[in-house]
Amino acid sequence: MSLRKLALDAYGRVMDEGGYSNIVLNDIIKSHPLEANDKGLLTEIVYGTIAKRLHIQYQIRPFIRTRLKRWQRNLIEITVYQIIWLDRVPNYAAINEAVKIAKASGGPKDANAINGILRNFERSPRQDANAIKSATKRLSIETSIPEWIIFHWKTHHGIEGARRIAEALDSRPQMYIRTNTSRITRESLLSKLTAEGLEATPSDIHPDAIEVDGDILKSEGYEAGLFSIQDVSSMLVNEALEPAVDDVILDACSAPGGKGLHALEKATSGHVDLSDVHTHKLPLVTQHAKRLGLSNLEVFLADAACDEYPRLYDKIIVDAPCSGLGVMRRKPEIRYERTAEDVEALVRLQLEILSNVKQYLKKDGVLIYSTCTIHQMENENVAYTFKKENDDIEFDPFRLKAFDFEGPYRQILPHEADTDGFFIARFRKKE
Ligand SMILES: C[S@@+](CC[C@H](N)C(=O)[O-])C[C@H]1O[C@@H](n2cnc3c(N)ncnc32)[C@H](O)[C@@H]1O
């Protein structure tokens, strides 16, 4: 099957069938052996078209005069992405490929229609988004982030703040790994990776973090459990949590295990319970724990909003289900899946989870609430509401050295240190 046809299938599975871009692409790459270059091009076309979809639709709208079938619309979108953003693909090649696919998928009529739209588009000047009067709509079209999200950011950060967030989330993410400090120091891991020919640099955002480039999963150190792949913003949960070596900790929304296993790498003579509401995700947690050589843990099914837990904890992590607007760089489709109404439902769930799990926190115990989103309602508002509704809970200031920060909660914006957008709040149960 041709590379563009694979891209079309992947794009359709994500945009029309709710697939996750990374999983869909991994499936396709596994079942269709491709050269490294082709893998790169396929990934670029699929991620790129998803990330630029609203802008593409804005550019192509004047050229579409009939109702298109989904696959036709998708084919036009992936081709327009190549025409606008991929210099290494000549326009005629991208259009010819699209016409071939249209002929094979529909027939000569479809091929003609697609050819007409794409050639018209190619030889016409691009639409100028500066002509859009509303600043919110303009930024939405420029960055392909839905208007309700831009509007929210504008309300809380001003239009220039919203632009900085949107543009940072439109950039390519830096890949980070987290040193498994229960097995190796960061310095030794850095030497190993460099000896394997990988590009690896210590990060100054977190002492366990290393910036990497290239196919890091190929490193021997991965199977040997010397590191995990994790964005550095997620590692900051550990800095806020400050796990002691013998702490008993609960990670109540744990899958696939990132934050809880990081805590366990520090609490080497303690214990961590890792639970999640989705049965199918639990094996992932167990596999990662095994790979990392961590054993003083229990992985189990629990609905953090209502279930009971088997013990009291020194520390609890609630890395809550959230709208995920901070991780758009890695999951570009997330921006189209969420609605303002989803946020209200998420806020209710977040508060239910916090109120339930705090019953299992020891007196003077620490509770961390985190999300990977940039939304005031799910972050600051949830933190304040939780504190207000629970007399036995108080804010507990923590430090984030790299951000020169001390306070009870912190929204990390993606342009501050080229990370995902993230939020952390710390509470303590009163004595
Ligand atoms: C942001 S993810 C957690 C990521 C994880 N902490 C990590 O660092 O790898 C949120 C998790 O919450 C889980 N979840 C959603 N609703 C839940 C509930 N009611 N109780 C427990 N877990 C829940 C989801 O299955 C998902 O795995």
Q: What is the pLDDT of residues 221-241, one digit of tens each?
A: 999 999 999 999 999 999 999
Give the CA distances from residue 382 to residues 337, 347, 377, 386, in Å, rounded to whole numbers and listed in that order. 22, 7, 6, 6
Structure token pair of residue 426: 């710390």
Of 330, 233, 220, 313, give the one whose Cα is nearest residue 274. Answer: 313
User: What pLDDT, on a 0 to 100 scale, did the predictor assign at position 33?
Assistant: 85
Tell whether domain 232-429 is in CATH 3.40.50.150: yes
In the structure, what pLDDT confidence band is assigned to residue 36 with cuts at 50, 70 and 90?
A: confident
Tell me, in angstroms, the distance from the centre of ligand 1 to residue 233's CA: 17
pTM for the predicted model, two decimal places: 0.94
Assess whether 372 carries a catalytic annotation: yes
Our mutation pick for probing the ligand 1 site, out of 253, 273, 281, counting the most ligand atoms within 8 A of Cβ, is 253
Please give the Cα distance from 78 to 74 (Å, whole number).
6
Q: Tokens 């590692």 identify what position?
A: 235
DSSP state of 34: -
What does the alpha-carbon distance between residue 137 and residue 128 come to, in Å, rounded to a whole number? 13
User: Boundaries of CATH 3.40.50.150 in the chain?
Assistant: 232-429
By DSSP bridging, strand 199-202 and strand 209-213 are antiparallel
Return the exposure string of 28-42: e unless at least 16 CB atoms fall within 10 Å of the residue's CB, then b: bbeeeeeeeeebebb
End-to-end distance of the chain based on CA atoms, in angstroms? 65
69 is written with which tokens?
Answer: 């079938």
- For the cut 90, the answer to whether the pLDDT of residue 215 exceeds it is no
Q: Is 321 in the pocket of ligand 1 (CB under 6 A)?
A: yes
Residue type, 94: A
**Structure token digits, residue 315:** 């520390």
**Residue 259 alpha carbon, nearest atom of ligand 1:** 8
Q: Is the CB of 145 under 6 A from ligand 1?
A: no
The pair of structure tokens assigned to 213 is 């480039």
Say whether pLDDT at 248 is over 90: yes
- In DSSP terms, 318 is beta-bridged to 369
The answer to whether the CB of 272 falls within 8 A of the CB of 286 is: no
pLDDT at 128: 95
Q: Tell me how far the alpha carbon of residue 69 lies from the centroid of ligand 1, in angstroms.
A: 36
The active-site residue, picked from 89, 114, 372, 374, is 372
> Which tokens belong to 32?
């269709």
Rounded to whole angstroms, the Cα distance separating 121 from 149 reads: 29
Strand (E) or helix (H) holding 271: strand 271-276
Residue 278 Cβ contacting ligand 1 at under 6 Å: yes
Phi, psi angles (nearest 5°) of residue 369:
-115, 125
* Average pLDDT of every residue of the chain: 96
Confidence of residue 88 (pLDDT cuts 50, 70, 90): confident
The residues pairing with 337 across neighbouring beta strands, listed in sequence order, are: none
Which residue intervals of the chain bear CATH 1.10.940.10?
Answer: 3-127
Question: ipTM beyond 0.95?
Answer: yes
Query: What is the mean predicted confidence (pLDDT) over 13-18?
Result: 96
331 φ/ψ angles, rounded to the nearest 5 degrees: -125, 75
CATH code for the part of the protein at 175-229? 3.30.70.1170
- Side-chain half-sphere CA neighbours of 131 within 13 A: 5
Q: Is the CB of 305 under 6 A from ligand 1?
A: yes
Q: Is residue 104 over pLDDT 90? A: yes
Q: Cβ distance 172 to 228 under 8 Å?
A: no
Residue 256 CA, closest ligand 1 atom number: 9
Confidence check: pLDDT of 60 > 90? yes
Give 372's pLDDT tier (boundaries 50, 70, 90). very high
Q: What is the pLDDT of residue 89?
A: 85
The annotated binding site for S-adenosyl-L-methionine is made up of 253-259, 276, 303, 319
**CA 383 / ligand 1 centre spacing (Å):** 18
For residue 1, pLDDT over 90 is answered with no
CATH code at 3-127? 1.10.940.10
DSSP for residue 209? E
DSSP string, 228-249: EE--HHHHHHHHHH---TT-EE
Give me the mean pLDDT over the 399-426 stretch.
Answer: 97
Q: What confidence tens digit (pLDDT) does each residue in 259-316 have? A: 999 999 999 999 999 999 999 999 999 999 999 999 999 999 999 999 999 999 999 9
pLDDT of 312-348, one tens digit each?
A: 999 999 999 999 999 999 999 999 999 989 999 999 9
pLDDT-derived band of residue 180, with 50, 70 and 90 as boundaries? very high
Return the pLDDT at 13: 97
**From ligand 1's centre to the CA of 348, what distance in Å?**
15
Statement: residue 379 has pLDDT above 90 = yes
The pLDDT of residue 354 is 98
The CA–CA distances, whole Å, from 323 to 25, 70, 146, 331 equal 22, 26, 13, 12
Tell me: pLDDT of 431 over 90. Answer: no
- Judge if the beta carbon of residue 284 lies within 6 A of ligand 1: no
Atom of ligand 1 nearest to the CA of 234: 8
